[in-house]
Structure 1
Amino acid sequence: MAYKILVVFLILVLGSISLVSQSSFDVSTHEIKLINVHKNTAVIDVHNLIVGQSGIVVHKTDNRSLIISHAIVTSILNNKSILTLYDLDNLKQNALPIPNLKPQIGDIFVLNHMYHSSLLIVPNFETFQKIKDLYPKQIFFNPDIFASNLKIINTPLPKIQDIKKFCISYDIGTVFIVISNKLYILDSHSFKILNVSELDLLDTTTQSPFFTKVIDIKKEFWDFGEDKIRNYNKYYKNLIKDIK
């Protein structure tokens, strides 16, 4: 009897530890020097990262710092992280001058850049409040603005590219999506899943395309596809399940 009680106790403790570790995903920024650069690839001497995490590359001079590239962790090799370097599409969106500099050894990779700013996609108001309570330090972008954007472009069923483009336009670093009582945290640039945690939710109602006050998001008149999300959980599960 005592043995059974001990087993149950250990299961409960280990289960609670798992849930705590999942919900405490670190969104803080970290500055790491580039130790090698070749064309559109760079290397940093850190290995405990998640493939799909992203950030910016900063070139520092005596009196200023310049953002010169965007970077995504694409693999871990020999206890080092390999980064793929990308143009600064977010700066292009804002019509700002782009520095004519390429990343080089010694430049700084700022990991988790803008991760504190998130787009929140949830099925109902209760879930909306739950996530905000669980992550009080996170800055959640108003979902009505994203919904208004979808309404303008006549897109009642948001695709990955719609979400990524919106996030780039508003400097949003992470996407929080709740699907079937699970919270998925994704990088807004790579759209890779960074963390998954269980949620205890009582309200199972869903709203299309997600919780928002914006209504009547219509498709183009020539579009013969679906005019709304009919199964919220199935739609978003399919959206993220085969991310390459």
Structure 2
Amino acid sequence: MKYILLLTILAFELFGALIKSPVVSVDNENETVKIKIDNIDVGVSGFIVHHISPEHSAILKNAVVQSFDAKTKTATVKMSEFTALQNNALPHGKWQVSVGDTVELAFGYSRSLLIAPNEKIYYKIAKSVQTQWIHPDLFATILSFRGHPTPIKEDFEAMADASSIGLLFIYLDQKVYTLDIKSFKILNISEAKLKQTKVHLPFYTRVDNIDAAWWGAGSSRMQNYAPHYYELMVENNKTNKQLYKIIKNGDAKLHYLLDEFEIGK
């Protein structure tokens, strides 16, 4: 008997364009800058760019939106060391972030990685979201190189640097979570009423074996699909009320995660 599964995914049209805004103030003590912007989600990542000339520029820092004030249309952006595209053979400047530099956000949001429990669900979702999908085989290869059969947040950051990916989609319990792959902040949660009958650990990939390191975070083999990815999301979204509600109303075996949230019960 044939039947149709309805997959509800929001259109991510606004995720395709790079968002640029000049720095209006710098707080070196807290390693933050402020920008003026009409609207932006907390957790959106990018870079701070210094323009040497109209034709030349240099990336100074990584950037992640820390907070947004809708009344003043002001976003506070957290700075951190820029680690991608490193090449010790090339010269580099000693510029410091200053007023007038440009914050460029949502970099790579037209390219995405999807974590799904099996092939069927992977392709159902992949066909429902318009983005440039980077196959999870590449991520599995990076995990094998790093010796992490169980992916940790730093592995997703490495994947972002290697493939210029901005968005991460994770399927869990008939929902698709959309995250900024570097900050691991949840940007959207959509319903995806798909039947799950099989689980491929650590996620759907055609790579048969992911090498494991002798020790350290991520070096153990994943035992359960959903708990691990819920744990990663909770760790990086402790004030997300929607995620809290989902876990509270879901499988009782995951209720131990409720104590990790920093919101009122």
> TM-score, structure 2 length as denominator?
0.74
> What residue is the counterpart of 2:97 in the other structure?
103
The whole-number CA distance in structure 1 between the counterparts of 2:25 and 2:170 is 35
Whether 2:123 is the aligned partner of 1:123: answer no
Whether 2:27 is the aligned partner of 1:38: answer yes
Structure exhibiting the larger radius of gyration computed from Cα positions: 1
- Structure 2, gaps ≥5 residues long: 1-7, 238-265
> What residue is the counterpart of 2:182 in the other structure?
189
Match of 1:233 among 226, 229, 237: 226
> What residue is the counterpart of 1:200 in the other structure?
193
Provide closer, same or farther for how the CA distance between residues 229 and 58 of structure 1 changes in structure 2, counting only shifts above 3 A.
same
Kindly tell me the number of residue pairs found equivalent between the two proteins. 224
- Structure 1, gaps ≥5 residues long: 1-18
Match of 1:67 among 59, 66, 71: 59
Structure 1 residue 214, shift from structure 2 partner: 0.8
> What residue is the counterpart of 2:126 in the other structure?
132
Provide closer, same or farther for how the CA distance between residues 153 and 88 of structure 1 changes in structure 2, counting only shifts above 3 A.
closer
- Alignment check: 8 A CA contact 2:148 2:219 kept: no
* Superposed CA offset, 1:75-122 (max 9, x none): 224441001122221122787544322222222211201111222211
The whole-number CA distance in structure 2 between the counterparts of 1:158 and 1:93 is 26
- Alignment check: 8 A CA contact 2:145 2:211 kept: no
| Corresponding residue SS for 2:236 | coil
- Alignment check: 8 A CA contact 1:157 1:209 kept: yes
> What residue is the counterpart of 1:173 in the other structure?
166
Opposite residue 64 of structure 1, the aligned amino acid is: H
| Corresponding residue SS for 1:92 | coil
Give the % identical residues: 31
Give the aligned CA root-mean-square deviation in angstroms.
2.6
- Alignment check: 8 A CA contact 1:93 1:169 kept: no
> What residue is the counterpart of 1:11 in the other structure?
none
